[in-house]
Amino acid sequence: MSETQKKKATNFLVQGSILAMAGLLCRVIGLIYRVPMMDALDDEGSGYYDTAYSIYNIALIVSSYGMPLAVSKMVAAKVTLKEYKNERRVLIGSLLFAITTGLITAAVVFFGADFFAGVILNSPKSALPLKVLSPTIFLCAVMGTLRGYFQGNSNMIPTSVSQIIEQIVNAIVSVLATFAFIKMYNSHPDQYAYGASGGTLGTTSGALAGLFVLGIIFAMNNKARKARLKEDISDKVESYKDIYKLILATIIPVIFSQTIYNLNSVVDRAVFNHLNDASEKVNSAYIGIYAKYVLMVNIPVAIATALGNSIVPVIVAEKVKGNIEGMKSKINMAIKFNMLIAIPSTVGLGVLSVNIMRMLFASADSNELAGRMLSVGALAVAFYALSTISNAILQAMHLMRKPLVHSAIAFVIHLVFIVIFMNMGLGIYSLAVGNVLFAFIVCVLNWRSIAKELNYRQEIKTTFVIPTISALIMGVVAVIVCNCLIKAMGSNTISTIIAILCALISYAIFLVKLGGLTKDEVMRFPKGNKIYRLFVKLHLMK
C-alpha cells in the first residue's frame, strides 16, 4: 500500500472512530439516563415508552432515515469530481425534500397515534407518548440531511458534536419530565403513560438542540463553501429533477430495508402481545424487560453504525475513480476494526449479563429475567454489527436493493420461528432468539452479495478466529474475577466494574500476543503511534 493510500486509510479510520466514539458516548449517556427513567416508569411504563418508540422509529425511517446516506453518497461523488455547484444544489434539493416528508409524516403520526398504538399494537396507552414524539420526526428529517452533507465531505465532527449535544439535552429533559409527570399524575389511572410521555418529550427537546448546533456549524462554514464554488471545474448543472430522482433511487430501498428492520421490532411485539395470554399491563411489563435487553445490545452496535456512515463516502469515492482494490482494502479494514469490538462485546454481555443488569437497574425485580434474556440473545451484537456495516457497503456500491431483499427474507423466516417459539412456550425469550436469527440471516446474505460483486473474500484468521479465541479467554477471566470479588466484597457493582476492566486488559493482551494485530494495522488506528509504543513497552509487540 502506498503512503497516499495509507494516509487515506488512516483518515477513514480516524473519521470513523470520531463518529464511533460519539455514538458510543451517546449510547452510554442513553443508558445512564434510562436507568433512573425506567426505574421511575417501572416495567409497565417502560413498555408504553418502548412501544411508542417502535412506531416512531418506523415513521422516522419513512421520513428521513435514508437522507444521510443519500446526501452523503451524492455529495461525496460531486466533491470527488469537483462539481461544487452541483454539490450545493444537492444540498438545497435534499433540504426541501426532507422538510416536506418530515412535516407530512409527523402529521400522520400525531393524528394516527391512537390507531397505531391501540389497534395495531394493542397498547392504547402508548398513544400519548407517541403524540409527544411526533414533532421529532420533522426535526430529524432536516438534521439528517445536514449530517449527510457533512459526512459526504468526510467530516464527521459536526455529526458527532450534534449527536452528543442532542443526547445530553435528551437525557436531562427525559429524566426531569418523567419524574415531574409521574408526580403530577400520581393519582391518575394512566400515570405511567404520562410518565412515558415525559421521556419522549426529552427526545423532542434533544432533536431541537441537535438541529440548532448543526445550524450554527453550517453557518460558520458559509465562507468556505462560497470560496470552494470558484474551484468548480465542471460546466454541467444538475437539475433538481435529476437530484430528486437520485434521492428517491437511494432512499426508497433504504426506507423499505430499514422499515423491515424496525417493522421486525414492531411485529415481534405485536405477535407477543397477541399470542401471550396475559393482560395489557403484564405484556407491557414483559416488553419493558425486553427493552432493557435491546438497550444493551444497541450500545456496541453503535460503533458499527458509525463505521458504516464513515465508509460510505470513502467507497463511493473509490468507485467513482474505478479503484476496486482501494474499495477492497477499505472494506477489509472496516470489517476487521468492527469485529475487534463486536466480538468481545458479545462475549462480555453474554457472560456478565445478570451482573450488568443488577448493576444498572438495581431496584428492578426483573433483573434475572432481563439478564438471562441478554445471555440468550447476546450473539445479536456480533451479527447486527456485521449486518449493519455490510448493509452500508452494499449501499455505497449502489446495490441498493440487496439489503432490502435480504432483510425481507430474514423478516419472514424469523417471524415464522418466533411464532413457533411462542407456541413452544418460550415466551419473551422468543423475541431475543428471533432477534439473533434475523441478524444472522442478513449477515449471510449480505456477504454472499459482496463476495460475488467484488470477488471479495474477507480475511478470516485475524478478523474472526483470533478475536473470538481472545474474547472467550476474556470471558473466562471476567467470570472468575467477578465471582471471586463478589464472594470477597459482596458488592455486585464494584465487582462487575473491576471484572470488565480485567476483561478488557486480558482481551487486548491475548489479541496482540496471538497475532490478531500487526504493527502496520495499529499505526493506522487513531493515536496508533501512541498505542504501538504502549504495546512495545508492555513487550506485546517488537
The tens-digit pLDDT sequence of the chain (542 residues) is 444 445 555 566 677 777 778 877 887 888 788 888 888 888 788 888 888 888 888 888 777 777 888 888 888 888 888 888 888 998 999 999 999 999 999 999 999 998 988 888 778 888 999 999 999 999 999 999 999 999 888 888 898 899 999 999 999 999 999 999 999 988 888 888 899 999 999 999 999 999 999 999 999 988 888 888 888 877 788 888 888 888 888 778 877 777 777 677 778 888 888 887 767 677 777 877 888 888 888 888 877 777 777 777 788 878 877 888 888 888 888 888 889 989 999 999 999 999 998 888 765 567 888 889 999 999 999 999 999 889 888 988 888 889 889 999 999 999 999 999 988 988 889 999 999 999 999 999 999 999 998 888 888 999 999 999 999 999 999 999 999 999 999 899 999 999 999 999 999 999 999 999 888 888 877 677 888 888 888 888 87
Query: What is the C-alpha to C-alpha distance for residues 440 and 433, in angstroms, rounded to an integer?
Result: 11
Nearest-angstrom CA–CA distance, 317 and 313: 6
| Shared-domain flag, residues 107 and 123 | yes
Contacts of 365 (CB under 8 A, 6+ apart): none
Note whether 155 and 237 are same-domain residues.
yes
In this structure, the answer to whether residues 374 and 465 fall within a common structural domain is: no
Tell me if 409 sits within 8 A of 461, measured CB to CB.
no
Q: What does the alpha-carbon distance between residue 216 and residue 288 come to, in Å, rounded to a whole number? A: 37
In a shared domain, residues 318 and 422: yes
Q: Quote the CA–CA distance of 306 and 24 in Å, as a whole number.
A: 9
In this structure, are 386 and 502 located in the same domain?
no
Structural domain contains residue 2: no
- Single-letter residue type at 445: L
Select from 441, 458, 475 the last residue of a domain. Answer: 458
Of 414, 442, 458, the last residue of a domain is 458
* Domain assignment of residue 493, given as a range: 459-542
Number of domains in the chain: 2
**pLDDT at residue number 484:** 96
Residues 495 and 449 in one domain: no
The packing angle between helices 3-60 and 127-152, to 10°, is 160
Residue 457 gets which letter from DSSP? -
Cell 474477507 -> residue: 458
Residue 70: name the closest of 250, 242, 240 by CA.
250
Question: Which residues neighbour 198 within 8 Å (Cβ) at sequence distance 6 or greater?
Answer: 174, 176, 177, 178, 179, 180, 181, 182
In this structure, the number of other CB atoms found within 10 A of the CB of residue 49 comes to 33
Distance CA 294, CA 161 (A): 25
* Residues 28 and 39 occupy one common structural domain: yes
Residue 222 lies in a domain: yes
Rg of the chain, C-alpha, whole Å:
23
Per-residue pLDDT, 248: 83
Last residue of a domain, one of 425, 458, 491: 458
In-domain check, residue 1: no
Helix, coil or strand: residue 339: helix
